[in-house]
Amino acid sequence: MATPARLDLNGKPIDPITICMIGAGGFIGSHLCEKLMAETPHTVFAVDVYCDKIKHLLDAPSGEKPRPWAGRIQFHRLNIKNDSRLEGLIKMSDLTINLAAICTPADYNTRPLDTIYSNFIDALPVVRYCSENGKRLIHFSTCEVYGKTIGSFLPKDHPLREEPEFYVLKEDISPCIFGSIDKQRWSYACAKQLIERLIYAEGAENGLEFTIVRPFNWIGPRMDFIPGVDGPSEGVPRVLACFSNNLLRREPLKLVDGGQSQRTFVYIKDAIEAVLLMIENPERANGHIFNVGNPNNEVTVKQLAELMTEVYLKVSGEPPLDEPTVDVSSKVFYGEGYDDSDRRIPDMTIINRQLGWSPKTSLHDLLQYTLTYQHKTYAEAIKRELAKPSAT
Ligand code: NAD
Ligand code: UDP
């Protein structure tokens, strides 16, 4: 019996397409490739400098059973900074998705030039090739383009801080509020904002079909790296991997400036559903900027540390530490020029109206899935490392 055609949100059959996915070997790219291979007929040119996180999707070694999606994913190891093959891949595709970026806060103030080049300059040819060749583009921006909330400038106990218009972030209303130039933290947000404006202008002046995604702290398995295991010992990944690393090593979790900043976390698998809806519903997604996050999963970083500790102790069966967290100044942790977004609650009106998407997974459940993965993937390697005699 033939499998029934998959339908878009307007009830039309979805035709298979070819997608050039740049940054496919990263955290989000790996989950998107998995989803596209398992649940759709689309073909992916997976472009990245690394492929460790998508190895399980690429062609099986000879002698092994071919994967069910064999032939639908091709890895192209190339650096988009300097590789002329990029234009050809974009021309051969129906849609380009650009995920490539330096996107770890520890880099923004310590490698601001690399950050600005990666997030703005390196994205320019991608936008140009799409525009010149009449190809659709889904570009990954960030919730960080909103910067700080308006409410953060009010005195601590001011009643207006409780009003949603002073903290909820809306794509078509909220301003982008960054710190001064010496606060180099904002190099990333500013570069992302300018590429958003350029894409928007290409749409307005040259008819580029685009969608801009603003992820709000997507987290889950395969995010970043565990320092000293599958990344540099001195590297500082994003908060999920930092806290996972501390838990795996039975060290106190480090709360930057007391962990008072607030974030909303969304499970990667929920967020990937939203991206698939964008891919398969161009009529509803083109010309839009979408917040993708979970407004119901808001915590302070301190609360996140407490919840991760509670969940991890259950998963690992280990006893609690006497001192589970420790405060550290941002200057010591990140260096000069760090600054922070105070609060990030996404308004969901536009994505809900256009694509009918809303997130499902609670913070507790997503941490349980993710920390079970972290424990299974890394606990043994860390035990072996800690058992080695120290070099001194
Ligand atoms: P990631 O670092 O895991 O993935 C980025 C990938 O891009 C990496 O595999 C990297 O090797 C690749 N890349 C970078 N420069 C490249 C180049 N010059 N040529 C080829 N490949 C290159 O990050 P992620 O979390 O998957 O994020 C993907 C995108 O989403 C980024 O644009 C990021 O700014 C945005 N974003 C993500 C989040 C989140 O919650 N994860 C939040 C805000 C924004
Ligand atoms: N943070 C922390 N301890 C860590 C790592 C991060 O307190 O070990 C804080 C960081 O200062 C920020 C929040 O956690 O307030 C989220 O950081 P992340 O790196 O995930 O990125 P962001 O959400 O700022 O883009």
Q: Which amino acid is at 259?
A: G
CB atoms within 10 A of CB 114: 14
Which of the residues are catalytic? 188
Is residue 375 included in any domain, yes or no?
yes
Cα separations in angstroms, 314 against 311, 371, 375, 380, 384: 5, 10, 11, 17, 22
Which structural domain range is residue 265 located in? 101-379
CATH code of 150's domain: 3.40.50.720
Is residue 46 included in any domain, yes or no?
no
CB atoms within 10 A of CB 107: 18
Ligand 1 lined by 23 (C-beta under 6 Å): yes
Is residue 76 included in any domain, yes or no?
no
- Mean pLDDT of all residues in 370-377: 98
Give, rounded to a whole angstrom, the gap between the first and last alpha carbons of the chain. Answer: 67
Q: Which mutation among 27, 188, 216, 239 tests ligand 2's pocket best, with the greatest number of atoms within 8 A of CB?
A: 239
**Mean pLDDT across the chain:** 97
The pLDDT, as a whole number, for residue 392 is: 53
- Mean pLDDT of all residues in 16-44: 98
| 43, containing H or E segment | strand 43-48
The pLDDT, as a whole number, for residue 89 is: 98
Residues 316-356 have pLDDT tens digits of 999 999 999 999 999 999 999 999 999 999 999 999 999 99
| Secondary structure (DSSP) of 119-132 | HTGGGHHHHHHHHH
Distance from C-alpha of 123 to C-alpha of 80, rounded to nearest angstrom: 8
Q: Does residue 391 carry a pLDDT above 60?
A: no
Q: Which atom of ligand 2 is nearest to the CA of 243?
A: 8
The pLDDT, as a whole number, for residue 388 is: 83
The pLDDT, as a whole number, for residue 5 is: 84
Number of domains in the chain: 1
Residues 94-152 have pLDDT tens digits of 999 999 999 999 999 999 999 999 999 999 999 999 999 999 999 999 999 999 999 99
The pLDDT, as a whole number, for residue 4 is: 74
- Mean pLDDT of all residues in 163-185: 97
Is residue 303 included in any domain, yes or no?
yes
The pLDDT, as a whole number, for residue 60 is: 83
Is residue 73 included in any domain, yes or no?
no
Query: What value of ipTM does the predicted structure carry?
Result: 0.99
Residues 53-69 have pLDDT tens digits of 999 999 888 888 999 99
Is residue 208 included in any domain, yes or no?
yes
Is residue 62 included in any domain, yes or no?
no
Which ligand is in closest contact with the Cα of 341?
2
Residues 222-243 have pLDDT tens digits of 999 999 999 999 999 999 999 9
**Which protein residues touch ligand 2 with a CB less than 6 Å away?**
105, 144, 217, 238-239, 242, 254-256, 259, 261, 263, 301, 340-341
Is residue 56 included in any domain, yes or no?
no
